């Protein structure tokens, strides 16, 4: 008879295989693995007799320890996947109430701030990466997965293969961005991925550039530009969408360009945009 440790190890291995089979991203697989590991460290009973009340007690413990709603939701998703998809438990029996999600507006950089940011980047490769994220509204994973063949200069589009939700899409390639990419290509001559990392002696194919490196590049550029906003590479994507909306591009087109499944996700940019605020006069102006 297998030990409790062996049962848990087997279940976790089955979960990881099923996540990969279903096409979940590597980030999601790593997150689920970590979340189940943390839950297993908390729960000392027999995993086969786990009750809903015990899962809820764990989630309450996470809340008491100050973990964010986002972290709790990730824990719920991982536990539910294990229980329902791997252990074949009844979803109704093991339904877990999710914490209410706080609604935060995304940080957005102005066009002037984008210009200042790009102006600090003297390295051709760094400039091309940051400019491309903003120019096409890319997720950082989409940027790093781009291959040379994805750039279609004849049709002036960039093909994004199997992005979030395993969906393909095309984004527009501007003339100026194409010029930047051509200058970058002549200087660095990537072989497979558009942006490649350092090759080791054992690498048959050059590795992708790392997301941590892109984040560090942006962080240094923000500091050099004197921009105090808490911006990340994803902020550039939010800025792209907001600037498109403010330029009069309809929400449906923005939804397609961003690869959003739901129009509700895209509608957040109507709240981020300041267009509707610029025509509002403060009552203070009539007083002083």
- Residue 150 tokens read as 């994805």
Asked if 260 is an active-site residue, the reply is: yes
Of the residues 126, 238, 243, 260, only one is catalytic, namely: 260
Asked if 104 is an active-site residue, the reply is: no
Asked if 80 is an active-site residue, the reply is: no
Of the residues 89, 116, 139, 159, only one is catalytic, namely: 139
Write the burial class of residue 189 (CB in 10 Å: 0-12 exposed, 13-18 middle, 19+ buried): exposed
List Cα–Cα distances, 247 to 95, 131, 146, 241, 254, in angstroms: 44, 19, 27, 10, 11
Of the residues 164, 169, 185, 188, only one is catalytic, namely: 164
Contact status, residue 168 vs residue 162, Cβ threshold 8 Å: yes
Contact status, residue 238 vs residue 107, Cβ threshold 8 Å: yes
Asked if 271 is an active-site residue, the reply is: no
Asked if 51 is an active-site residue, the reply is: no
Asked if 164 is an active-site residue, the reply is: yes
Distance of CA 238 to the CA centre of its chain: 11
Best CA proximity match to 204, nearest among 222, 221, 191, 223:
191
User: How far apart are the C-alpha atoms of 77 and 109, rounded to whole Å?
Assistant: 32
Of the residues 208, 237, 238, 243, only one is catalytic, namely: 237
Of the residues 85, 125, 159, 234, only one is catalytic, namely: 234
Active site amino acids = 139, 164, 234, 237, 260, 269
């Amino acid at each position: 008879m297998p030990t409790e440790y062996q049962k848990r190890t087997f279940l976790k291995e089955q979960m990881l295989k099923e996540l990969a089979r279903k096409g979940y991203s590597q980030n999601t697989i790593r997150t689920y693995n970590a979340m189940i590991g943390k839950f297993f460290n908390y729960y000392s009973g027999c995993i086969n007799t786990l009750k809903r009340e015990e899962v809820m007690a764990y989630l309450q413990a996470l809340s008491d320890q100050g973990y964010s709603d986002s972290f709790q939701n990730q824990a719920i998703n991982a536990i539910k996947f294990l229980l329902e998809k791997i252990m074949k438990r009844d979803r109704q029996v093991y339904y877990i109430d999710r914490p209410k999600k706080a609604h935060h507006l995304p940080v957005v950089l102005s066009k002037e701030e984008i210009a200042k940011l790009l102006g600090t980047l003297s390295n051709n490769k760094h400039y091309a990466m940051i400019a491309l994220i903003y120019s096409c509204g890319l997720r950082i994973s989409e940027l790093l997965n781009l291959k040379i063949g994805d750039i279609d200069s004849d049709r002036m589009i960039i093909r994004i293969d199997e992005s979030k939700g395993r969906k393909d899409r095309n984004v527009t390639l501007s003339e100026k961005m194409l010029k930047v990419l051509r200058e970058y290509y002549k200087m660095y001559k990537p072989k497979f991925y558009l942006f490649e990392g350092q090759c080791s002696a054992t690498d048959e194919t050059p590795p992708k550039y790392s997301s941590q490196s892109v984040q560090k590049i942006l962080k240094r550029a923000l500091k050099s530009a004197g921009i105090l906003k808490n911006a990340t590479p994803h902020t550039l994507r939010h800025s792209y969408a907001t600037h498109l909306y403010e330029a009069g591009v309809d929400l449906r087109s923005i939804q397609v360009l961003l690869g959003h499944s739901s129009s509700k996700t895209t509608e957040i940019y109507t709240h981020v945009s300041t267009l509707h605020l610029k025509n509002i006069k403060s009552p203070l102006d009539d007083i002083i």
